[in-house]
A and B are shown apart, each in its own frame.
Chain A
Amino acid sequence: MAPRRAAIAGIHEYPLRRAPGRSKMQIKAESAARALADAGLTFADVDALYDAGETGAMSGITVAEHLGITPRVIDTTSLGGSSYEFHAAHAARDIAAGRANVALLTYGSTSKSESRAIGTGGRSTPDPAPGMNMETPYGLPLIGNYALVAQRHMHEYGTTPEQLAEIAVTTRAHAVRNPEAVAGLRDIGIKNIGELTAEDVLGSRMIADPLHLLDCCIVSDGGGAVVIVGDDLAAGIRKDPVWILGSGEAVGYPGNARDLTTSAGARSAPLAFGEAGVRPEDIDIAMIYDSFTITVLTLLEDLGFAKKGEGGSYAEGGRLRWDRPGAPALNTDGGGLSSNHPGMRGIFLLIEATRQLRGESTSQVDGARLAVAHGNGGQLGTRHSAATVILGKD
């Protein structure tokens, strides 16, 4: 008997980017209820819980308690923004093994309402990991961490600020087509909520050379939920199932000879594409974690869409826009750069990929059949996680 296949059966994206007075747990619970309703299921059906712990310690217990569920698989893998791609991979594995039937992934964040300075905040902790204790005195903020990658990429391959800007321009063009993204940009106080030009990006203030303000994701509230089921249940759900065809996982960390221009994605992606039996050129939708423009540019290479060093020229000329054939459509919801980034946006990669394969996106690609969701967690220039999930429709 072939192992059970797993499919995304229900999704929900919490619509507000600014949700004062709401808690992370409330956002998770509301999103979970709506994603289950989207699948035609209830909390009583859930037997597997995946949680990244953003509500606090022991979240496998507290989230289960709050939702009133009794899961028999509890997975609190927490690897930053990519956690949800890890969760999807683990849910597919647990469903294939017969240990789970209905898997629930949830996320809730109030980063904007808490005024968390994610990109420029301090990093000191009272009990640092040894490697991080080496870096405390130097004041490298998250944006600066990614800037180290961008600077080296420019040095080695001649990548230009204009090429990086093209990625922010493309995702904003998609955000402008997404009413929830537009409302969100307005609600979090972004002044220019229309289309961007490369000049806008290059003219925005430098935060950490060579990254400008508009090379960076926004900070929002938000959350969402994803329901994953086995193939025996997938036949009975309300919407067409979106199959998890393959996945791969990896982590990266500093080393004395590490090539900083190559991420752990170069190891997770071949695993995912290999398991799915598809190639990068088959992909219609590229949901690639866009914490910063350099994240996308590096990952376009590491996922195999462009050769190492050619991500910049690959992204040029609006090639990754939803309505341009010949390359995958990038972050068609507007991405973290222009739709929402509450801190860990990996769940939205799964949600928008599912919308595209269902035909429900606000920038719908005609005939989209295959999508990749690639999460990058942590900090690309030092310690980061990578998980790649290949999704497909029947």
Chain B
Amino acid sequence: MSTTADTAPARPLPVLDEADTGPFWRACGEHRLTYQRRRSTGEIVFYPRGHDDPDLETLDSAGRGTVYTFTVVRQHGHPFFRAHAPYTVAYIDLDDGFRILTEVIAEPGTVRVGQRVELDWEDHDGTAVPVFRPAG
């Protein structure tokens, strides 16, 4: 039986076997938002890379942060995003010290720079997409 849900355009997903970022997306499938830290200097590394470097450790983020900047996308050529618009795309500065481009799930026009947000997940086959919501 074909349903609307079956034929609705799907959110584009990352390439899960990309060598550097694949481990990140597979961890997302377990609802873990991971980042790396250099043991010797404490420097935060994100996006992930250098997986054979013993000086880099992988940590789980607490998933809380602040909106650095955002835009409300109102027009997009891709079928999923055209149907999804308007939606808010933002850079979030995580309290753990890294910055991520993501979507903030909120009424368009209500998000503000400096707003506190927290991690949520949108589940997909083989991974989950990290999104953020206004902190409760």
CA distance A205 to B75 in the complex (A): 10
Known interface pairs A130-B18, A134-B24, A254-B99; A206-B74 also in contact (CB < 8 Å): yes
Which residues of A have CB within 8 Å of B98? 256
Verify A136–B12 contact, CB threshold 8 A. Answer: yes
What number of residue pairs across chains A and B have CB atoms under 8 A from each other? 125
Interface residues as binary, A222-259 with B (CB distance below 8 Å gives 1, 0 otherwise): 00000000000000000000000000000000111110
Q: Select the stretch in A47-55, A120-128, A318-326 that faces chain B.
A: A120-128
Q: Select the stretch in A2-10, A138-146, A168-176, A338-346 that faces chain B.
A: A138-146
Q: Which residue of B lies closest to A149 (CB)?
A: B69
Verify B77–A121 contact, CB threshold 8 A. Answer: yes
Which residues of B have CB within 8 Å of A135? 101
CA distance A39 to B4 in the complex (A): 62
How far is the CB of B3 from the nearest CB of chain A, in Å?
23
Q: How many residues of chain A are within 8 Å of chain B by beta carbon?
A: 42
Tell me which residues from 84 to 136 in chain B have a Cβ below 8 Å from any Cβ of chain A: 84, 87, 89-91, 93, 97-103, 109, 113-114, 129
CA distance A256 to B91 in the complex (A): 10
A155 touches B (CB below 8 Å): yes
Interface residues as binary, A255-289 with B (CB distance below 8 Å gives 1, 0 otherwise): 11110100000000000000000000000000000
CA distance A130 to B15 in the complex (A): 9
Tell me which residues from 151 to 168 in chain A have a Cβ below 8 Å from any Cβ of chain B: 151-152, 155
Known interface pairs A133-B21, A207-B75; A139-B15 also in contact (CB < 8 Å): no
B39 touches A (CB below 8 Å): no
Known interface pairs A256-B97, A260-B68; A137-B73 also in contact (CB < 8 Å): no
Verify B74–A208 contact, CB threshold 8 A. Answer: yes
How far is the CB of B126 from the nearest CB of chain A, in Å?
13
Known interface pairs A120-B75, A121-B77, A207-B74; A257-B99 also in contact (CB < 8 Å): yes
Verify A134–B14 contact, CB threshold 8 A. Answer: yes
Interface residues as binary, B5-24 with A (CB distance below 8 Å gives 1, 0 otherwise): 00000011111001111001
How far is the CB of A208 from the nearest CB of chain B, in Å?
5
Interface centre among A131, A141, A382 (most CB of B within 10 A): A141
CA distance A382 to B89 in the complex (A): 13
A148 touches B (CB below 8 Å): yes
How far is the CB of A39 from the nearest CB of chain B, in Å?
41
Contact of A144 among B15, B47, B73, B84 (CB under 8 A): B73
Q: Which residue of A lies closest to B113 (CB)?
A: A155
Which residues of A have CB within 8 Å of B75? 120, 141, 143, 207-208
Known interface pairs A120-B75, A208-B74, A256-B97; A137-B12 also in contact (CB < 8 Å): yes
CA distance A144 to B76 in the complex (A): 10
CA distance A155 to B46 in the complex (A): 25
Verify B11–A130 contact, CB threshold 8 A. Answer: no
Which residues of B have CB within 8 Å of A211? 71
Verify A130–B69 contact, CB threshold 8 A. Answer: no
Contact of B69 among A137, A143, A152, A205 (CB under 8 A): A152
Verify A138–B69 contact, CB threshold 8 A. Answer: no
Which residues of B have CB within 8 Å of A190? none
Verify B18–A128 contact, CB threshold 8 A. Answer: yes
Show the binding face of B for A, using Cβ within 8 Å: 11-15, 18-21, 24-25, 44, 46-47, 49, 68-78, 80-81, 84, 87, 89-91, 93, 97-103, 109, 113-114, 129
Offer 19 A-B interface pairs, CB within 8 angstroms, sorted by A.
A124-B12, A130-B21, A134-B24, A135-B101, A138-B89, A138-B103, A139-B87, A139-B89, A140-B71, A141-B75, A141-B76, A148-B71, A155-B69, A155-B114, A206-B72, A208-B73, A211-B71, A254-B101, A256-B46
Please name the 4 residue pairs, one residue from A and one from B, whose CB atoms are nearest each other, closest first.
A147-B71, A139-B81, A122-B78, A152-B69
